[in-house]
Structure 1
Amino acid sequence: MPVSQSQRFQRINDQLRRGAAIPTAELMQVCGVAERTLKEDINQMRDRYRAPIKFSRRLGGYHYYESFDLKTIEIELTNQDVAALKNAVTTLNQFRDLAVFADFRGAVEKIEQAVRFRISQPSTSQAYIAFEAVPPGQGNELLDELLVACMNRQVIEFKYQKYDDAAPRLRTVFPHLMKEHRNRWYIIGYELYPPQLRVFGLDRVIADSLKSTALSIDPPPFDAEAYFRPALGVAVYDDPAEDVILSFTQKAGLHFRAQPFYPFRKEDILVDSKDEFRVKLCIIINQELVFELARFGNSVKIMAPDSLVQKLITFLQSTLNQYQLY
């Protein structure tokens, strides 16, 4: 059975990691290819993964001239998988210079190497793929300091300027975790005065006002995964999740199924026909959900509950009022 190029790369890597120089004939036999193909494989390993391979006449073969190991992903990746991974790496690389991501930098580089490993012609294909460049958000410079506070369970203070307040207010908060949503960062924590769970956007924290305190508290337990699972966005949720039934047009239904804004199970599909895709979502009704549904325009209709229908009508009516001619 023919050996794939990725398998040949791994076989070459395994041989060279033995430490000794491996003769050309031996590598040809291990990979089951002619000398020309072997040299092409080695050149591609050098180009794609910066593999430090050198041929030594004195030693009589190929060897790694510095420590190296080619790590590959064992599963088969589709073009869509590769594009998704490339997009994720591109996004993560925007934060690579922040100390908060120092622990992940090596992992990101390994993923980036694996993505290059799966792209058959990286020098040409990348010219046909454009990824969204997200500029750094205001407040991102606080990430490092906030991570330290979260890890050390330190109570922090900062001045917070809400967009609709005339002046900033001093906040005293026990930070639980940081969360990113739609390219903005938030700190979720337990505010001491008054005692309550709160979410604060870093873009509204006044520069140079963040500091640690000597206060020590034992806040109520907080399960982030359970808290955010039934909702869209980042907010404080007091209401429980409700059954929301949505009726999409056939085309919008295909878009939703391809990239749902909220997860659903097969048994949650109520209608799946050439005219309609109807689905039930158990989700908290909040403003983020209203915004998401408004984005679909007339391609979706809320079948239940009536409270969500009224929220969307109010939102759309206020938008329409912006364009009323007097």
Structure 2
Amino acid sequence: MAALPLKGLATSLVSDPKLMWEIPSMWSLEEASTVPMAYLTAYYSLMVRGRMRKGETVLIHAGSGGVGVAAIAVALSMDCKVFATVSSKEKREFLQKRFPTLMNDNFADSRDERDFEKVVRQGTQGRGVDIVLNSLALDKLQASIRCLAHYGRFIEIGKFDLFNNSDLGMEIFLKSITFHGILIDSLLQHESDEKEQVWRLLKEGTLSGVVQPLPYTIFSHEKIEEAFRFMASGKHMGKILIQIRDADGNISEIKPENQSLDQGGIINEKQDLNNNFGKVDGVTEFQEQAQEGATFEIESISANSSTVANILQNNIPRQIHAIRRTFFQPSKSYVVIGGL
């Protein structure tokens, strides 16, 4: 299994050996694919930048997401007290099943800053937490900062406030806190001691059993848009996977459904063929070639000149494919944009 800074949405990848880890024999490839980015982010955020120590208190937002589940596992392995926010009862129950030591008092509503502030205040006797792993924005980010104890560390893995240059307020630093912006792409692209440290932590975590595959929802390659919509809905727990290869390791070609080019679902083939071949002196080149006995490919079947001439003369509507060939090639990489 491996991690990449860019161009990860592909059928073939080349990765840095320093970002590769051996897959345990009992894991499937699907399970292994859920691990690298989530646990890499968790270890880098909590252990490398947050310098988490044994027995500290940690607030982890979006606890049922991939990074959230990984971060809870890492924090509990250090005997830390964990507070996690979730957006539904189902997500809380999922985490309690995966981490039986978490009680109801360890959870708060991620959509209500007053709720998680109250839970942290009561759970720490007003002291606050040592570390916040934050992915919330705007007012919820400010509330999360207020949850920090003196000398606390705020770990920001969200991007909204960073890219929008949101105000932070200098008063918060009177508590001697530190604020860390986490950009995993930057870590992966540059050589550093931190990169080596993360590689070692993830390797040791895999061997010790701290690192475990995350829950996932899998979509076939024909349902990529549905996968993105499902992710945008915020209903998933863990990771979302796109299956490109079949069980035997073969890459499947994506074949689009029959599509038409006009509103009625039928394209007038006479008009289409005229457009393709152009007009010469009021007579299409296509008609001239048809009269000479030429053969043409229409809808992947061979049509002789008399058939084509009949189509043109009688204006017979025929349905053809708007996309007549596979548009995902196994030898190329693609980025899916739009359509959401």
TM-score > 0.5, shorter chain as reference: no
TM range (shorter): under 0.3
Higher RCO, Cα 8 Å, sep 6+: 2
Normalised TM-score (structure 1): 0.21
Normalised TM-score (structure 2): 0.21
Q: Would you tell me which structure has more strand in proportion to its own residues?
A: 1
